[in-house]
């Protein structure tokens, strides 16, 4: 049975990406931990529909955080010689992705996860991994105009081979992402996309504060001023605990 009641797998790669076929694109320098032994690692999740250009964004973010990129596309092909994109395969792929990411951040490194993360359950697993092992966590959603995605998929050349129908299928089934995360619109030029990433990450580089965490803090402060903090925070907690069905990479 295919993932999520027939949902097609995410096997896309941005046409602007390097096309590297290794598990991780390693641009990280020496890893480190604090004097008290606490990890200084950073975990970044780059998610979004097939064909929106996640890899382009992930590579730019990796340069900002001096980190490596880990991709579900590549991990799946490492684990399964002839992938069938079943529920069990997807579970194994995300489990391996987060295990490797956990090792990276526990050692004090930064890692950027390039995957669809269409199922909220897998995003929650990433948050849990970061909460246990990392000093900072970021969730970045990549979006793109549908017409642009279609054009780019037609001329894409890389290790991913999802077509436009897969993009549309995922669009119907992608679990809604909770507020307080960064959004990068990749509909324009590469320079415009990079400018959005730079704005989101450059200001926080010195302090190492996660984009999602910073946005949440700012939102909480604003709600407190309006007297709605308790009610909205409680609603957010319920959203984080909501269950979701199996999601492919």
CATH superfamily, region 3-240: P-loop containing nucleotide triphosphate hydrolases (3.40.50.300)
Element of type H or E holding 183: strand 182-185
Domain boundaries, the chain: 3-240
What does the pLDDT read at residue 219?
41
Q: Which of 214, 221, 27 is nearest to 138 (CA)?
A: 214
* pLDDT (mean) for 144-154: 92
Q: What's the pLDDT score for residue 239?
A: 31
Token pair 């970044």 is at which residue? 44
Q: Are 242 and 120 in contact (CB under 8 A)?
A: yes
pTM beyond 0.85, yes or no: no
Q: Which of 138, 125, 11 is nearest to 67 (CA)?
A: 138
Cα 208 to Cα 201: distance, rounded to the nearest angstrom: 9
Predicted pLDDT at 241: 25
Would you state the pLDDT for residue 37?
57
By C-alpha distance, which of 82, 43, 86 is closest to 65? 43
The pLDDT of residue 197 is: 97
Q: What SS3 state is found at 54?
A: helix
Q: Give residue 205's pLDDT band: very low, low, confident or very high (50, 70, 90).
A: low
154 is written with which tokens? Answer: 């037609």
């Amino acid at each position: 049975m295919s993932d999520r009641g027939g949902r097609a797998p995410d096997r896309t790669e941005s046409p602007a990406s390097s096309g590297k076929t290794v598990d991780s694109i390693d641009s990280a320098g020496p890893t480190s931990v604090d004097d008290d032994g606490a990890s200084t690692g950073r975990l970044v999740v780059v998610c979004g529909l097939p064909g929106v250009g996640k890899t382009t964004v992930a590579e730019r973010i990796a340069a900002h955080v001096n980190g490596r990129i880990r991709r579900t596309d590549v991990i799946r092909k490492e684990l399964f010689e002839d992938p069938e994109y079943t529920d069990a395969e997807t579970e194994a792929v995300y489990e391996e992705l987060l295990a490797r990411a956990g090792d990276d951040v526990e050692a004090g490194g930064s890692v950027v996860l390039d995957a669809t993360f269409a199922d909220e359950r897998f995003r929650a697993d990433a948050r849990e991994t970061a909460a246990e092992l990392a000093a900072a966590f970021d969730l970045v959603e990549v979006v793109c105009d549908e017409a642009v995605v279609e054009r780019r998929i037609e001329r894409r050349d890389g290790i991913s081979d999802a077509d436009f129908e897969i993009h549309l299928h995922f669009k119907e089934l992608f679990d809604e992402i909770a507020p307080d995360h960064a959004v990068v619109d990749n509909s324009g030029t590469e320079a415009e996309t990079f400018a959005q990433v730079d704005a989101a990450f450059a200001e926080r580089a010195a302090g190492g504060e996660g984009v999602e965490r910073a946005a949440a803090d700012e939102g909480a402060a604003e709600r407190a001023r309006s007297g709605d903090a308790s009610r909205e925070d409680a609603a957010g907690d319920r959203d984080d605990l909501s269950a979701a069905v199996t999601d492919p990479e």
